Structure formats: C-alpha cells, structure tokens
Homo-oligomer: A and B are copies of this chain.
Amino acid sequence: MKRRELLTAGGASVLGVAALTSTVRAEESITWKMVTSWPKGAPGVGTSAQRLADHINAMSQGRLQVKVYGAGELVPPFEVSDAVQQGTAEIAHSTPYYGAGKNPVYHFFTTIPFGLDASEYEAWLLEGGGQALWDEVYAERGLKGFYVGSSGLQAGGWFNKEVNEVSDFKGLKMRIAGLGGQALRQLGVNAVLLPPGEIFQAMQTGAVDAAEWVGPWNDLAFGLHKVAKYYYLPAFHEPGPALEAVVNREAFEALPDDLRAIVQAAARATAIDSNAEFRYNNIIALERLLADGVQVRDFSDQIIKALHDALQPILAEVRASSPLAEQVYDSYMAFLQQAVQYSIRMESVMFQQRALVFG
C-alpha cells in the first residue's frame, strides 16, 4: 500500500500517527543500483558484491532493495565511483585505487607496497583513525566508503626465468599495475598494463617475460602455471588490497537510521565473508600449484631493499600531493612502523614454529 492510498482511505485516522508511520515505512521500498568493477559473480570480487547486496536485502526485508550490475552493464569498470558521484547509481563495489588517477592518496585505502596486511589495515581503519581520514578524502566527491574485505596478501608474479639480483630485472617486460609497477620501472623493468583477459596469451607467446595477477586462487583459474616456470611469493607490492563499497553520501544520509545501520553492518559482515573466501581458496589453490610442480621462489634481500628504496620518492610524491594526503601518509606510516615491530615478534615467529613442528 502506498502512502497516498493510505491517506485517502476512510477511517485510517483511527490508527493514529505512530501506526501510520510504521505502516508506510514497512511498505515503502527503496531501490539502489549497485555498479561493480567486476564481471558478475567473478570469484572473490563479484561474489563479494553479491553478498553485500544479499545481506542488505535480507536484513531490510526488501525495504532497501539492492540490484547488482556487472562491469560494463551500466557503466565501465573503472567509472563506477563516478557513476555514484553523479547519482547514476547509489552504490558501487570496487577498490579505491582504481580512482588513483583522480587522487593518488586513494592508494592508501587499497594497499601500498610493503604496507599493512589485511588485518592490520582493518585495525588502522576501524580503530586507528583511518576511516575518518577516508571519509574526509571521499567527502570531496560527495562519497562515503565502506570496507568490505580484502583479497589478502598477493603473489609476486609468474616469471619465465629466475630473478636473483637487481640486475636481472633490467629489460624484463612485465605485466604489473600500480605503485609496484612504478617501483619496478626504477629497476629497469618495462612494466606494462595488460587487461586480465590478455595475460595468459602474453605469457604464452613470450610477449611478456613475467606477469602478476592476484594470488594462488585467481592465478590458478587463469592457468598461469601452465605458461610460466617460477612463482614468486609473496608480492612486495600488495600486502592486502581492500575492497570497498562506495555510496552516494546524499542517498546514504536520506536513509532512515535502521537502514543506515544495516548498510554499515552489511559491509562489515561482507568483509568477514570475503576475507574467509579468499583465504580459504588461496590456501587450497597453493597446494594444488605445488602438487603440479610449480617452482616457488621469493625475492632476495637485495631485491627487496632495492624495491623499497625505489619506492620512497614515489610515495613522497603521493604525500606531497595535498595536505590531506600528508595526513593520511603520516597516520598510516606511524601505525605501519608499529605493526612491523609487532608482526616480526608475534605472527612471524608463530608461523615459523608451526612450520617447524608440522614439517
């Protein structure tokens, strides 16, 4: 029943204002379009988007109805936050650094090389002031971002020859995106950005010598182990990329209190779901890759140090890009320094002790 029908119905006034409001609320249904940067149902990322919509729809009993659109259905994959800004859609599922061309500080809300892992990022975001800074950054575009999980520590990439020293990178042609690619360029790598669908063939034909995609689960699905001999683990460049739900601030604020609470909690519930999905499948997939004879390597200390050095002027430029970027950088880096000290005395030791007893 619509508000109009109710108001004109004879005798409705006996219900009093309170009941009237409740009825109208229960009957009203708001529809939100969710545009996404991924093909519908794509493993990990597309499933995360659908889960977020499902949580909201179930908890609101359809009072807030979210309909998911795959990449390109309404808008291209890298323009989803623009669509939300303009009001073409109310919500997007994506990752902040897809908008880094607009503002390089967005990198900090996805991941940065040698940065926080997923659980450390959650700590900084939810307890260490990160969310308030993110809100300030996105408010410039009338947006609000919610964390909806992480794809976890990424793989370093597939290589058709070993890289033992910094000099081995010289002239190497590699598919790699973002700040990691920028750091590798300083070491003489010809870093190129191929669309996902072209990575396999480029490795197979030798058009590139190396390529990074996501992690064991998604890499296995792409068949990259069939066209490269060495798997470098882990990534230096993406310790825990965050996924986001980005909403139009006006549309969000127009929601009644309970629906705002539902959107917020749905995002957090989705974060646990997605973290678990990526972690589980990556663990299973790595075992399969190892059973398949994949040669795992890690980057040498010399290479790691050179990459970290190469990164410093790049990050300094991000920091210098705006006063707000400086605040984000300083807050993130202060916590990172503490997190590094913690993890090397805690998680890192535990993992080695477990490996000792489990062989």
Contact = CB atoms under 8 A, between A and B. Distances in A.
A320 interface: no
A341 B286 contact: yes
Q: Across the A-B interface, give the 7 residue pairs with the lowest CB-CB distance, nearest first.
A: A11-B11, A22-B26, A127-B280, A268-B269, A58-B261, A123-B280, A348-B351
A308 interface: yes
A331 interface: no
A139 interface: no
A287 interface: yes
Interface in A254-289: 257-258, 261-262, 264-266, 268-269, 271-273, 275-277, 279-284, 286-287
B22 A262 contact: no
A266 B261 CA distance: 10
Nearest to A155: B346
B344 A284 contact: no
Interface stretch (A30-38, A164-172, A298-306): A298-306
A122 interface: yes
Contacts of A257: 58, 61
A352 interface: yes
A351 B343 contact: yes
Contacts of A355: 340, 343-344, 348
Given A126-B272, A281-B127, A346-B233, A290 B341 contact: yes
A67 interface: no
Interface stretch (A92-100, A113-121, A189-197): A113-121
* Identical copies in the complex: 2
Given A153-B350, A286-B342, A298-B345, 12 more contacts: A58-B261, A59-B265, A118-B119, A125-B276, A126-B272, A127-B279, A233-B346, A264-B269, A265-B265, A283-B335, A298-B353, A344-B355
Nearest to A121: B276
Contact of A350 (B234, B268, B279): B234
B234 A347 contact: yes
21 contacts: A1-B15, A1-B16, A11-B14, A23-B26, A58-B265, A59-B258, A114-B357, A122-B275, A128-B280, A265-B269, A266-B269, A268-B272, A282-B342, A286-B345, A287-B342, A301-B353, A305-B356, A308-B357, A340-B358, A343-B354, A344-B354
A6 interface: yes
A338 interface: yes
Nearest to A215: B346
A126 B10 CA distance: 52
A23 B264 CA distance: 26
A19 interface: yes
